[in-house]
Amino acid sequence: MSKKECVAMLLAGGQGSRLGALTSSIAKPAVSFGGKFRIIDFALSNCANSGINTVGVLTQYRPYLLHSYIGTGEAWNLDSRDGGVSILPPYATQTGGAWYAGTADAVTQNIGFLEQNDAEYVLILSGDQLYRMDYHKMLENHIRHNADLTIAVMPVPWEEASRFGIITQDEDEKILKFTEKPNKPDSNLASMGIYIFNAKLLIDTLKEDAVDQQSEHDFGNDIIPKLLADQKRLYTFRFEGFWRDVGTISSYHETSMDLLGDKPEFDISSTDFPIMSNPSIRPPHYVGPDGSISDSLVGNGCKVFGTVRHSILSTDAYVGDRAIVEDSVLLPGAVVKEGAHIVRAILGENSIVEEDVVLGSVDMTKDTAVIGNDVVVGKGEE
């Protein structure tokens, strides 16, 4: 790496309103996932595993837990003297201050951070995706193409293509066309929202965009179409592997369930590109004399006296005597009391399901039941 070859900007300020009760008190990247992780672990671990040691994390919505969780970045080996994690919330200047008004605006407001680090390339990431990617390979691809902008892409099912930024490219991976969330997609190659820009071009473009009254200051809607119209060199980097956006309750639940099974498509246990986290140090979990667990992930500090099937129990979750937990996700400290029965539910951090409450339904046409953080569900309130 040169002085600062590549700096990452991790967009972690969104509210994540589609995660409903799970993000009522914390930012989406701080939502617990997979028993002991938080969603932001995946992007931060990717940075660390790709040799990118300077990461700006742009925060805005309900940031306390996110800030304390990231701390100095040491949990991801990112507490280095020549880089490290910088938390970048909106700030005021002599002429005032403003909230981040879009993905591009958030980076625009932190051009100073890019200049301070004298970066040659800037990697833009979102904090709400699950995948393992070696960004260094993407950077090599970017340099090989002598590109101005490289977008990570992957094919998606045609019926879902209209949810994404859709790309048409030539045989040399050069982008010919980019359409954000098209009604009638003519390709199924989707942008993953992961970009590498030449820093100078990015800064110049963002400055122009900032004064454009028509712009929504969004990478997908404004910046990429503008660069394409300006005949810049836009290339793709094709990603093969597991990638999920866990932005909705159903995708969160489904992706959680995907971690289970003998040979899951996404193995969070794999050690060659490890997912690192900043966990609470808790003793081993305890399974009681009548406890029973199958096809599940169970974190430290849990206590299981009842039955757990095809579920995820995060750190310090509790399943009481005679209780049954199926196809569900218990976030850290969630409690299912004696005799309660929960099916296809997500229980927020430190939430409590009281004795004998029945929650959720096996009927797949019904929504996954969600209980917010710190909420208590009593008998008759389900």
Site of interaction with other proteins (CB under 8 A) = 34-36, 74-75, 261-262, 268-269, 274-277, 279, 281-300, 303, 312-314
Nearer to other proteins, 138 or 293 (CB): 293
- Name the minimum Å distance from CB 55 to other proteins: 18
Q: Are strands 92-93 and 341-343 parallel, antiparallel or unpaired?
A: unpaired
Q: Give the C-alpha separation, 122 to 140, whole Å.
A: 13
Nearer to other proteins, 127 or 299 (CB): 299
Min CB(64)–other proteins separation in Å: 20
Say whether 351 sits in a helix, a strand or coil. coil
Is 13 or 301 the residue whose CB approaches other proteins more closely? Answer: 301
Which two tokens mark 10? 């991790």
Residue number, 65 or 268, with CB nearest to other proteins: 268
Give DSSP secondary structure letters for 159-190.
GGGGGSEEEEE-TTSBEEEEEES-SS-S--EE
CB 270 to other proteins: min, Å = 9
User: Using CB atoms within 10 A of its CB, is residue 228 exposed (0-12), middle (13-18) or buried (19+)?
Assistant: middle
Cβ at position 184, least distance to other proteins in Å: 42
CB of 297 to other proteins, least distance (A): 4
State the minimum distance, in angstroms, from the CB of residue 285 to other proteins: 6
Contacts of 80 (CB under 8 A, 6+ apart): 53
Nearer to other proteins, 267 or 356 (CB): 267
Which CB sits closer to other proteins, 92 or 281? 281
**Residue (210 or 276) nearer to other proteins, CB:** 276
Strands 329-330 and 312-313: what pairing? Answer: parallel
Cβ distance 11 to 101 under 8 Å? no
Q: How far is the CB of 136 from other proteins (least distance, A)?
A: 21
For residue 10, the minimal CB distance to other proteins (Å) is: 20
Nearest alpha-carbon partner for 241 in 194, 187, 179: 194
**What is the sign of the dihedral through the CA atoms of 180, 217, 83 and 2?**
positive
Strand arrangement of the beta sheet that strand 352-353 belongs to: 303-304, 318-319, 335-336, 352-353, 376-377
At a CB cut-off of 8 Å and minimum separation 6, what does 260 contact? 295, 296, 297, 310, 312
* Gap between the Cα atoms of 7 and 58, Å rounded: 13
Pairing of strands 341-343, 324-326: parallel
- Nearer Cβ to other proteins (77/248): 77
Which residues fall within 8 angstroms of residue 314, CB to CB, at 6 or more apart?
32, 35, 36, 299, 302, 329, 330, 331, 332, 333, 334
Instruction: Give 58 or 304: the residue with its C-beta nearer to other proteins.
Output: 304
Residue 154 beta carbon to other proteins: minimum distance, rounded to whole angstroms: 24
